[in-house]
Copies of this chain bind each other. A is one copy, B any other.
Amino acid sequence: MKRRKFIEDSSKATAVLMMAPGLSILSSIGKDKVRLGFIGVGARGLTTLKLALERNDTEVTSICDTDPITLKRASDMIAKAGKREAKVFTGNDLAYKTMLEDKNLDAVIISTPWEWHTPMSLDAMNAGKAVGCEVAGAMSLDECWQLVRTHERTQTPFMILENVCYRRDVMAILNMTRQELFGEMIHLEGGYQHDLREVKFNDGVKYYGGGVEFGDKGYSEARWRTTHSVHRNGDLYPTHGIGPIGSYINNNRGNRFEYLTSMSSKARGLHDYIVNHPKGGPDHPNAKVKFRLGDVVTTHIMTSNGETITLTHDTNLPRPYSIGFRVQGTKGLWMDLNKSLHIEGISPAHKWEDAEPYLKEYDHPLWKKYASDAAGAGHGGMDWFVLNAFIEAFKNKEPMPLDVYDHASWSAITCLSEQSIAQGSEPQSFPDFTDGKWMTRKPIFALDDRY
């Protein structure tokens, strides 16, 4: 039934490709600097802003946020970098729309609360501004479709800024999968396993921890992200796991996600945190909040080529950070938890080997070339690579390496996992956001050492 609905929606939405505003921008640049606007300069936006300011081929012309404190931090950062002052857009939630009217703006970086990612991306694409959008965010399958259709109609570049796709070990493994060291892909695992309790709760002043406040009384992510844990139950943050896996299995490029099932454990972690925190306790008003998000949400995905994928979302409990990668093929497998791999005919039979020598040997050409540039950038350097890819693809007028179809199919996992859980783990079919083009599209992600 759902599948039929999508087909109807997609045929309604089909539109003749038009010469879109984005194309004129694309043709206006090439040698000059890419003029960037930042929508959202909170904790995440500031990290990307810093990287943009370090580049010689970008100019930050405008920044936008509703929070004066973080706007001041951004302006100070720009000044400290010795760069020209950026225009500031603020005052209300829709101030970014005014910013998008600026003819001297080529592209925007969107680092706002999840629920704003789609409307802002749509407005930016419609205004002909290339979009680099932070991960997570489609609140419905219809939002995924709108992004796809708007991109197809406007031809404005869109990239999902999934940084883990550029993690050094992840890219070395990509290199190995392409050289078929693991053989034909069979089963993959990943996820987002990160104790976010000090992200979801703080004291209303600091970014992280120090209290049990969220929503209006929280600050930064606690102000908006926690609300999703109150009201939603599903894999809310699938991209760090599924992004790299998508590259390994050529998602939307000869392969695609067909259906998934999701299952959610009971929800205990966030309530316990409030009750046991020195600034919380059983009488704190937030102790009455009922969190819907299960502490551990597991999702199985079936692909059209017959690989299976297991994703885990685990953000409410005390635990060490782990994506939990497993990349398994007919000739062997890699797992990041024990930093080990096994390859038939090379590794001793039935034994793990330390992955490190292999990760060095198969270091991706991009990392070989740019490791020193990336050094010091956020999240072990991968933030540098993802911004670099966006800027380089834009400058070269080439397709974005992680595109709107990637984004739609990854984000759909969140919506479909919510549906599956609500229906007692019933399987849910993925829409084909490519309208069949997945059968013939070729891989483009990180094929060489360019970006």
User: Which 10 residue pairs of A and B lie closest in terms of their CB atoms, listed nearest first?
Assistant: A266-B306, A318-B344, A187-B296, A265-B308, A263-B300, A261-B261, A425-B427, A338-B338, A320-B352, A268-B330
How far does the alpha carbon of A331 sit from the alpha carbon of B320 in the complex, in Å?
12
CB < 8 Å neighbour of A300 from B266, B300, B318? B300
Query: Is the Cβ of A308 less than 8 Å from the Cβ of B342?
Result: no
Within 8 Å CB of A305, what residues of B? 266
Within 8 Å CB of A333, what residues of B? 317, 319
In this assembly, does A269 line the interface, its C-beta being within 8 Å of a C-beta of chain B? yes
CB A351 to nearest CB in B, in angstroms, measures 6
Query: Is the Cβ of A330 less than 8 Å from the Cβ of B272?
Result: yes
How many copies the complex holds: the figure is: 2
Query: Is the Cβ of B317 less than 8 Å from the Cβ of A296?
Result: no
Query: Is the Cβ of A259 less than 8 Å from the Cβ of B187?
Result: no
A339-353 contact mask (Cβ, 8 Å, vs B): 1 or 0: 000111000011110
Knowing A263-B302, A298-B300, A300-B263, the reply to whether A186 touches B268 (Cβ < 8 A) is: yes
Query: Is the Cβ of A265 less than 8 Å from the Cβ of B195?
Result: no
In this assembly, does A426 line the interface, its C-beta being within 8 Å of a C-beta of chain B? yes
Within 8 Å CB of A184, what residues of B? 268
Within 8 Å CB of A352, what residues of B? 320
In this assembly, does A162 line the interface, its C-beta being within 8 Å of a C-beta of chain B? no
Give me 17 other A-B pairs in contact (C-beta within 8 A), A187-B298, A320-B342 excluded: A183-B272, A186-B266, A186-B296, A195-B350, A259-B424, A261-B425, A264-B308, A265-B307, A269-B330, A295-B330, A298-B308, A298-B310, A300-B300, A300-B425, A317-B333, A319-B350, A321-B350
A294-330 contact mask (Cβ, 8 Å, vs B): 1 or 0: 1110101010011110100010011111000000111
CB A427 to nearest CB in B, in angstroms, measures 5
In this assembly, does A337 line the interface, its C-beta being within 8 Å of a C-beta of chain B? yes
Number of contacting residues on A, CB 8 A? 51
10 contacts between A and B (CB under 8 A): A186-B266, A186-B269, A187-B314, A266-B305, A272-B330, A317-B332, A317-B333, A320-B342, A320-B350, A320-B351
In this assembly, does A393 line the interface, its C-beta being within 8 Å of a C-beta of chain B? no
Q: Please, which residue of chain B has its CB at the minimum distance from the CB of A353?
A: B320
How far does the alpha carbon of A351 sit from the alpha carbon of B300 in the complex, in Å?
27
Query: Is the Cβ of B425 less than 8 Å from the Cβ of A259?
Result: yes
How far does the alpha carbon of A308 sit from the alpha carbon of B425 in the complex, in Å?
12
In this assembly, does A127 line the interface, its C-beta being within 8 Å of a C-beta of chain B? no
A259-278 contact mask (Cβ, 8 Å, vs B): 1 or 0: 10101111011001000000
Within 8 Å CB of A329, what residues of B? 317
CB A218 to nearest CB in B, in angstroms, measures 20
Query: Is the Cβ of A296 less than 8 Å from the Cβ of B308?
Result: yes
In this assembly, does A335 line the interface, its C-beta being within 8 Å of a C-beta of chain B? yes
Query: Is the Cβ of B265 less than 8 Å from the Cβ of A187?
Result: yes
A264, A272, A306, A308 pick with most chain B CB within 10 angstroms: A308
Within 8 Å CB of A268, what residues of B? 184, 186, 330
Within 8 Å CB of A351, what residues of B? 320
How far does the alpha carbon of A266 sit from the alpha carbon of B344 in the complex, in Å?
19
Within 8 Å CB of A330, what residues of B? 268-269, 272, 295, 317
How far does the alpha carbon of A266 sit from the alpha carbon of B320 in the complex, in Å?
32
Q: Please, which residue of chain B has its CB at the minimum distance from the CB of A428?
A: B425
